[in-house]
Homo-oligomer: A and B are copies of this chain.
Amino acid sequence: MSYTYDYPRPSVTVDCVIFGLEESTELRVLLIQRGHEPFKDAWALPGGFVDLEEDLEAAALRELEEETGVRDVFIEQLYTFGAPKRDPRGRVISIAYYALVNLRQHPVKAASDAKTVEWFNVNHLPKLAFDHNEILEVAINRLRAKVRYQPIGFELLPEEFTLTQLQSLYETVLGVDKPLNKRNFRTRILKMGVLKEVGKQEGVAHRPAKLYAFDKEKYEELVKSRYEDLIKRGVDFEI
C-alpha cells in the first residue's frame, strides 16, 4: 500500500523527554538505545511517527509506552523541532513533549525488539541521536523555569512528606550547587499556604519531622486570586 500526494510532505514525529527523580537527589532522563539505522545503537529520546488520525499528545504517550513501558504520565508540549537536516532520512518535523515523574512509580520495560531502556543522570549524558541533545537542553531549561512557579514537584514525593524532602527535591531539579537556606525555604513554602500538616515521623533517630501533604484546593484558589493580582500589578520584570 502506498500514499500519493500532489506536493511533497514532511514526516511528523513526536519525542518524549521524561524526567525522573532518583532518591530526590539526582535528576534523570529516560532514554532508549536505538535498534535500527540511522544512529543504530545510539541513545535517543523515546518517540516515533504520528498516526494519521491520532492526536499529537496521544501519539507521544503511545510511543512512550511502546518503547519504554512507561504510562500514566502528564506530558506537556515543549517545542517543535523542524530544521531541514535534523534527520538524515529526509525532512522530519518533531513535536517534543516533556514530563517530570517519580521514577519509582514508573518501572521501565524495554520494547519487544530488544532495545534497551535506561534512566540517565542529566549531568552525565552520552551523545544522543539526531538533535536530541538540543531537545534535552531546551527541556531542562523549561523544567527549571516551570518548577519555580508551579508546584510540579509535589507529585513526585510520597503523599506525605517532610519539608527536608521537598527542599532536596527542589535542589535537585534546579541543579543548585549550594543547598538552599533551610530557614528561608521553609518560611516561603509555608507562607504560600498550599501545604497542610498531616502528622509526624516515627521511629527515626532524631527529632521527628512534621509530615505535610499538598492541599490541592488551596492551590486552585491561589492560582485564581494570584492571577487577578498580577493583572492589577502590571509589570513584574522578573527577567
Contact = CB atoms under 8 A, between A and B. Distances in A.
A130 to B, nearest CB: 16
A77 interface: yes
Contacts of A53: 84, 91
Contacts of A77: 79-80
Interface string A62-96: 00000000000000010110111000000101010
A234 B150 CA distance: 13
A126 interface: no
B3 A2 contact: no
A109 to B, nearest CB: 26
Copies in the complex: 2
Contact of A148 (B189, B232, B236): B236
Contacts of A93: 12, 50, 56, 93, 95
Interface string A1-14: 11111111111100
B237 A192 contact: yes
Contacts of A235: 147-148, 170, 180, 185, 188-189
A199 B49 CA distance: 58
B80 A55 contact: no
A4 B7 contact: no
A230 to B, nearest CB: 7
Interface in A29-76: 49-50, 52-56
With a 10 A CB-CB cut-off, give which of A83, A93, A192 has the most chain B CB atoms: A93
Nearest to A6: B2
Interface string A202-239: 00000000000000000000110011001111111111
